[in-house]
Structure 1
């Protein structure tokens, strides 16, 4: 790898790490830097009802049998370090995402059966929420003008 290509790669990786995503949920707005570690174009599963015995490694071992598996993470409380009981799994290909949803929902991971749902992480992005609010206002105005 040439020196110039190496410098471009480092600059690109640094920009990705510095990227912050503004999020909104429950009426609170915050900057979420943890999303910089995840691919933008992945297919992500929300894994619920995880026991305290499940960590990133256990979740990874459970889902890495799928060829396009990318990453798994159990969400933890910042103060105590205990699991919050849910996590996320990322896939590069939609076929593996669908197969994992069908095959793994209800399977025991650790001491409990997991509940899988399609992740809604994109819907909490501030720009998406604002766009939905604008669309809702337009629809309400159109409805009110009809009555």
Structure 2
């Protein structure tokens, strides 16, 4: 028996959706994001430091699972999120597209000029570009921490206390 489901419409209020330009601005402020790929038939998530170069997300990696997954997983996704304690608002940006290995030395140098350097030791000789075909984001007010039993490490507590 198969059951068809109708996808739920986007229930994010229009005023909480981020514009494409706002998404790019938030991406440009961050240095670490999460790359989501399908590897050997299951989802994998890799934290990567990155730069923006020509309206695309660029990171360096060594040969291995992440590189192989980036080259074979179609499509790929990339996500960043954050919290503004002053405004008590959180945000999230998701880019979806295909990852491509950068071959051109000029493109690699352009990424390096944006200060793309690996955080983890070791050779990270492969440059990968994710040019988003879809870029979405949202911003939302977070629930006050006094309404729940909030952990001491929760960043919302600092803005409330």
What is the TM-score of this pair, normalised by structure 2?
0.24
Q: Which has the higher strand share?
A: 2
Q: Which has the higher helix share?
A: 1
Higher alpha-carbon Rg = 1
